[in-house]
Structure 1
């Protein structure tokens, strides 16, 4: 399986993976956990200098792993910039322009709004930089600026609880790929033991990757994708996802998603550390919900019903495929570059139908290097099918 890792800086844990296997994802999450720092700080303890977040005046905390120093310099990610813009009500486009063109103006704007409410509290999620013995502090990474009532549901804990729920469901499954970005974790799970024939849906279709025929392998497997965000970019979710075996295209059904939101109570200032009892109850609920979701999504009846729902629209012949794809891209706000790849996959797929558009979108999603973009595109496959069938 191909694998890509992105490292923010040599002093912090790597923060990204694309199409990793489960073992590598777990290793990466464990590495991140050793560098995590979550702190509740007042506005008066925060300021920007040279575009970087400075935390000053927050007391160090003694934990099981030793003294946790909070004060330091943290380089914000794009997600953190979005949080700053949202919490301080600075237009995001303007903030991005200042970061690109005038960092001193960015500092001035953000600091002015922080001084406006000096006692207002935020949660800062960060990665610590390495601080070797006798060495000066190294800058870390500011991952997010969140509400002080944000409930921590970390990727590693959520993943372990979810996999326990999968095990308790009793269904034979395997993890087919994992992604980790600054925004979200994605874990794709499949059960080839639960597969149905979809001859009508795959008639005349060819894999754009190797030319294999859907007529020869007309099978669709049951599955789902687990997602979680540690930085306020969405709830913990389990979304049903069927997989076309001939090309590995994944089709997510977002209408049936199971979710658990990150919402808690106000917290005191300082380093955030949830009690063992609170964490245990949250994770037990995740395990239970996951087991229930898996029993529903990994059933032959569920997959067959979803296949029947899309067959009629998928069979609609497109008289002018190029115009239909342009219409779909415009209506779903798909960019020109991705639209052109979709058109190429559509031609190679050989289905001159609305279903062919759906397949082209899901196959294009497989090759995108940006995992967030890929997941968003895959989620558009069914709306694209409806739009293409209506356009004709």
Structure 2
């Protein structure tokens, strides 16, 4: 499992962000795009206090392009090669549309361009509600915590619930909580299997709780901007966080853990009888792994010398520790969880590849 930051560092960063972020519901007609000759793109908003100018993150540019139905590759080409053309395109559509957008800013940058129905479930509210719940787990260890540009991750393990896959090969029950403040996925609470021998994490993504960031319509007929102040940022969905508590407890229960661990253990009996190179090639094509990722998974499969379904699952999750991008590393842990759910027919396609 890829190591992130400490809980203390996470708390400091969440507090820092709380002081510098701002959310607004803005009519499209009160926004425009300004791009200079070197491709620096700003969103200009006519706020009550004056004109605000905000740089974009790459994700926010992509979201704006998507909202305006401009292919992102073309958006970026205009930005770098014809900035005036980009502004004419973007501003024409902004002035034509009557939509209102949720604009989320942080450190003076637009970090997200979202629907006005977007339901904010902010990281600091989530952390304040779930960390006390997680700290009640017996002998809990926070194996990995991270805050990326697009998501927050909290991965915890309890040694009180564990099983042995093979002599000396122990796995323990855990949980991963993920949230995105910028529209990059649902808030989710999912069971985690942690393998001690190599610190691999496997996420059982089909057995958890998900909550979409969609709420009531926040629109109005008035051409005004709604700014969410600090006193309105606190989460008001207490019933949801009670459900989170129940899901956390269920995820690390002996019954739920035994079900996931049994599926993982069954992969020990799947022999990779075909060409390992072809097996990983089929895997890469099916799950969109690039050449570097495919080579990394194959290397772990060969080096660890376990030519079984179990070996392939562990090659995938072990490789995640080498991936620089934390978001992508977590996707490999999710892929490990997908593999243990594969039906026999799909495993044959991997195991017998030649």
Q: Tell me how far apart the structure 2 counterparts of residues 335 and 314 of structure 1 sit (CA, whole Å).
A: 27
Residue 76 of structure 1 is aligned with which of 43, 52, 56?
A: 56
Equivalence for 2:15:
30
Equivalence for 2:74:
94
Structure 1 residue 100, shift from structure 2 partner: 4.4
- 1:145-182, Cα deviation, whole Å (9 max, x unpaired): 01112122111111111123335x65442211112222
Structure 1 residue 52, shift from structure 2 partner: 2.1
Equivalence for 1:111:
91
Q: Establish whether residue 294 from structure 1 lines up as the match of residue 248 from structure 2.
A: yes
Residue 270 of structure 2 is aligned with which of 316, 322, 325?
A: 316
The 5 A counterparts of 1:89-168 are 89-117=69-97, 119-128=98-107, 140-167=108-135
Equivalence for 1:136:
none
Whether the 8 Å CA contact 1:158–1:286 is kept in 2: the answer is no
Whether the 8 Å CA contact 1:183–1:233 is kept in 2: the answer is yes
* Gap change, CA 1:381 and 1:280, over 3 Å in 2: closer
Q: Tell me how far apart the structure 2 counterparts of residues 275 and 20 of structure 1 sit (CA, whole Å).
A: 28
* Gap change, CA 1:280 and 1:370, over 3 Å in 2: closer
Equivalence for 2:349:
390
Q: Give the superposed CA RMSD.
A: 2.2
Q: Tell me how far apart the structure 2 counterparts of residues 153 and 251 of structure 1 sit (CA, whole Å).
A: 25
Q: Tell me how far apart the structure 2 counterparts of residues 383 and 285 of structure 1 sit (CA, whole Å).
A: 30
Residue 49 of structure 1 is aligned with which of 10, 29, 34?
A: 34
Which has the larger displacement, 24-33 or 382-391? 382-391
Equivalence for 2:157:
190
Structure 1 residue 312, shift from structure 2 partner: 2.8
Q: Tell me how far apart the structure 1 counterparts of residues 314 and 339 of structure 2 sit (CA, whole Å).
A: 10
Q: Tell me how far apart the structure 1 counterparts of residues 239 and 131 of structure 2 sit (CA, whole Å).
A: 13
Structure 1 residue 71, shift from structure 2 partner: 3.3
Q: Tell me how far apart the structure 2 counterparts of residues 362 and 297 of structure 1 sit (CA, whole Å).
A: 20
Structure 1 residue 327, shift from structure 2 partner: 0.8
TM-score by length of 2: 0.88
TM-score by length of 1: 0.80
Whether the 8 Å CA contact 1:314–1:389 is kept in 2: the answer is no
Equivalence for 1:272:
228
Structure 1 residue 270, shift from structure 2 partner: 2.4
- 1:116-154, Cα deviation, whole Å (9 max, x unpaired): 12x4211110124xxxxxxxxxxx211010111212211
Structure 1 residue 341, shift from structure 2 partner: 0.8
Q: Tell me how far apart the structure 2 counterparts of residues 72 and 273 of structure 1 sit (CA, whole Å).
A: 17
* Gap change, CA 1:49 and 1:348, over 3 Å in 2: same
- 1:7-49, Cα deviation, whole Å (9 max, x unpaired): xxxxxxxxxxx61111111111111111101111111221111
Whether the 8 Å CA contact 2:104–2:182 is kept in 1: the answer is yes
Equivalence for 1:12:
none
Q: Tell me how far apart the structure 2 counterparts of residues 170 and 338 of structure 1 sit (CA, whole Å).
A: 35
Secondary structure in 1 aligned to 2:236? Answer: helix
Structure 1 residue 285, shift from structure 2 partner: 2.7
* Gap change, CA 1:335 and 1:230, over 3 Å in 2: same
Q: Tell me how far apart the structure 2 counterparts of residues 240 and 379 of structure 1 sit (CA, whole Å).
A: 11
Q: Tell me how far apart the structure 2 counterparts of residues 345 and 121 of structure 1 sit (CA, whole Å).
A: 49
Gaps of 5+ in 2: none
